Amino acid sequence: MKRVLITGAAGFLGSHLCDKFLSEGYYVIGMDNFLTGSEDNISHLFGNKNFEFVHHDVTKFVHVSGELDYILHFASPASPIDYLEMPIQTLKVGSLAPYNLLGLARVKGARFIIASTSEVYGDPNIHPQPESYWGNVNPIGPRGVYDEAKRFQEAITMGYHTFHGVNTGMVRIFNTYGPRMRLNDGRALPAFMSQALRGEDITVFGDGSQTRSFCYVDDLVNGIFKLTLSDEHQPINIGNPQEITIKEFAEEIVELTGSGSKVIYQDLPKDDPKQRRPDITRAKEILNWEPKVGREQGLKRTLEYFQEKVQTQTV
Ligand code: NAD
Ligand code: UDP
């Protein structure tokens, strides 16, 4: 049985990755310190004999006994309000943690995959964004702690590949949504859905003309699974190229929920990217991957989760 270590296992994406690898017959070691994650996301796995959970801060030395075939480093605050509140933890988990985990991958002979991000392109001047684009990032702006940590993470990963021959891969993840997102994590989808379900005003930042391209979590996880099993070392964009303005996205959610909420406009955060859409040519060619779930279907599936959460939670 192949063994995989997943950091950030109690988070949104990490918990779905645990489910995916378990369903494909792997032994999964999930590691997390619950900085932004929740036990609720993985409690359904606690009785599974092929799953083991380790409570650990991966910015500290990481020890795992036994063999490891794959290491997926997904631990990191990921929403803008999280990384603005926790800038130093964000910088550490993008730098000290990959340093620790690359050392572990080297010792174990494991393939090492990092969760990189479309944020490495910053506020992009090229549209859509291919992997060959080097980006437009403000290192000392509020988002710099996240963007530059992720860029360093790519650099150290490539360094260990070229210098030590570690088998590495990098996924540049574009905005992804689905069940297990935190209601109050401040990202557009959880904010709009919980506001719509509570009948509160929908807070669109700026004039809402900025664009994003939202990918349903199952599609993303399938792409990451294929990348893990491949021997690709260069970065690969995984995301859904279906692009929408944030204003239209808010209106779609109001309509889907049947809410009487109205859209209000608030200040645009500094350095908020104006446009974002993945060029997924490489994912198609190298991984034979493309997204299957359209926004209408994905949002319906996500709504069921949020309806239940809004009913049972007060935050
Ligand atoms: P999340 O906040 O839901 O999950 C992150 C997890 O990492 C949490 O469970 C948190 O407790 C854990 N964590 C943070 N610091 C840790 C530490 N020092 N030690 C151990 N665990 C730690 O976020 P997510 O949306 O699931 O994102 C997962 C990864 O994917 C992140 O690396 C993020 O940068 C990347 N990513 C996500 C998206 C997206 O749209 N969701 C887009 C681009 C990149
Ligand atoms: N956004 C918004 N209202 C909110 C939360 C976010 O208008 O309550 C906007 C945000 O300014 C950005 C877009 O929605 O332009 C996507 O934001 P998110 O935090 O989801 O992701 P990211 O900015 O990291 O792509």
Q: Measured from the CB, is residue 204 less than 6 Å from ligand 1?
A: no
281-287 own/partner pairs: CB under 8 Å, 24+ apart: 281/130, 282/130, 282/131, 282/234, 282/236, 282/237, 283/223, 283/236, 283/237, 283/238, 286/230, 286/232, 286/236, 287/223, 287/226, 287/227, 287/230, 287/232, 287/236
Note the ligand closest to the C-alpha atom of 244: 2
- What is the structure's pLDDT at 312? 87
Nearest CA to ligand 2 atom 1: 188
CA of residue 35 to ligand 1 center, whole Å: 9
- Regions of the chain with pLDDT less than 70: 314-315
| 186's tokens | 């401040």
Note the ligand closest to the C-alpha atom of 192: 2
Q: How far is CA 218 from the centre of its chain?
A: 12
Nearest CA to ligand 2 atom 19: 187
- What is the structure's pLDDT at 196? 97
CA of residue 187 to ligand 2 center, whole Å: 5
- Note whether ipTM > 0.85 here: yes
Give the position, in ligand 2's atom list, of the atom nearest the Cα of 192.
8
Note the ligand closest to the C-alpha atom of 245: 2
Which parts of the chain fold into alpha helices (H)? 12-23, 80-85, 87-93, 96-108, 144-164, 188-198, 217-229, 246-257, 281-287, 295-312
Distance CA 246, CA 269 (A): 14
Give the position, in ligand 2's atom list, of the atom nearest the Cα of 250.
7
Amino acid letter for position 271: D
Is 146 a residue of the active site? yes
pTM: 0.98
CB–CB of 20/4 below 8 Å? no
| E strand or H helix at 215 | strand 215-216
- What is the structure's pLDDT at 314? 53
Distance CA 228, CA 70 (A): 8
Q: Measured from the CB, is residue 99 less than 6 Å from ligand 2?
A: no
Number of Cβ within 10 Å of residue 44's Cβ equals 12
Q: Measured from the CB, is residue 15 less than 6 Å from ligand 1?
A: no
Amino acid letter for position 282: R
Q: Measured from the CB, is residue 36 less than 6 Å from ligand 1?
A: yes
Nearest CA to ligand 2 atom 3: 204
Nearest CA to ligand 2 atom 25: 175
